[in-house]
Structures are given as C-alpha cells and as structure tokens.
Amino acid sequence: MSEAFSSEAEKASRRENATMKGSPAAVFWLTGPPASGKTTLARALAARLGGLGLAVAILDGDDLRRGPCRDLGFSEADRLENMRRAAEAALTLSDCGVIAILALVSPLAEGRRLARARLAGRPFFEIHLDAPLEIRRARDPKGLYAQAARGEIHGLTGYDAPYEPPEAPELRLDSAALGLAESVEAALNLCAPLSAARPPAGSRRNPA
C-alpha cells in the first residue's frame, strides 16, 4: 500500500469512527498550576457531558505520569514530551468520537501551542484555571506546596518554577472566585453549538 493511500485510508477511518459514534469529539484542555481545580472541574464536566449521552474520557496529568509518561522527568524537554503524548492520546479519543478532557499543568506555552496544532480540525477548547498562591497552598490536596516550602521538592510549577499563562484561551476561570457549578456551565457554553447540532439518540440522517 502506498504511503499516500495509507494516509488517506487512515483519515477516512478516523472520520468514519467519529461519525459512527455521533459525538462532537471535542477536546477540552484544562491547564493551570497545581491545586487550581483542574481535576475537580474535569470530573464535574465529564459527569455533565456524560449525562447528555456523550462519550467522554478524562486524561489526568497524574494518571499520565503514572502510566504512559512514567519515564519522563520535569525538565523542559520532558514537559514538552509529556504534553505531546497527552495530545496524541486526545487525538485518538477525538477521532473515535470520544470527548477528551485533559487536566494537566502543561506549563509551557510552546507545548500547548504544539498540542493545539496537532489537534487542528477538531473542536478545541483551552481552559485556563488559576487561583492566588495562598488559595492553592491552602488547598494543596497532594501536599506539594508544603513539601516545596520545606525544601523537600524543587521545581514546583507556580511556586519555584514558572507557569506561562495562555494569552488567549477559550475560557479563563478564577477557581477562587467561581463555584464549581458556575465553572461547569461556563465550560459547557463553549460547546453548546455542538450539542445543539448533535442529532437525537436513535435518529438517522437523511440519505444524500
């Protein structure tokens, strides 16, 4: 099989998968420093979208670090590779008609730019979550800020390592000021046109 034919066949297969699933195949990329509320929002958003009858999967940064990215450290190169692998996983889900919700720090603007480019042609929503440092330190569900303050860990994003905020995300949320329900509604509003365009369950399109 020629390379060109293989490429076209792969594209056709992806389009067919998405059509068969009947899902918008959107990608929500939740980015922000640790304890900014990414995982909490991802779970709540997934529950709401699932309640609409849509296929949804969460790609959480901690899970990725324990699984396909367990060989990576926290150098700039490794952070970029972590984001690249996350984008590839989201691509596969999206092409199978499954909405992908990524919740990972993804601190580097270049990595997020490359991820957006890789996922071009799909509904892509970058959501930037943030909260003041004192709020994040008070939350600290994994104890990372406490460990960093004691000098036990170094290079914690948003503490002693930089986080590069998105310049133009589709949505910016201050998780210290907004409640979870409000944040979920704001995220859902991004894909409202997609949900409205989705045919009712069991319906069929008219033949061309």
Q: Which residues are catalytic?
A: 106
85, burial (CB in 10 Å: exposed 0-12, middle 13-18, buried 19+):
middle
Dihedral pair phi/psi, residue 154, rounded to 5°:
-135, 155
Dihedral pair phi/psi, residue 129, rounded to 5°:
-105, 140
**Parallel, antiparallel, or unpaired for β 171-174 and 124-130?**
parallel
State the amino acid at position 138 in one-letter form: A
- Residue 196: CB atoms within 10 A of its CB come to 7
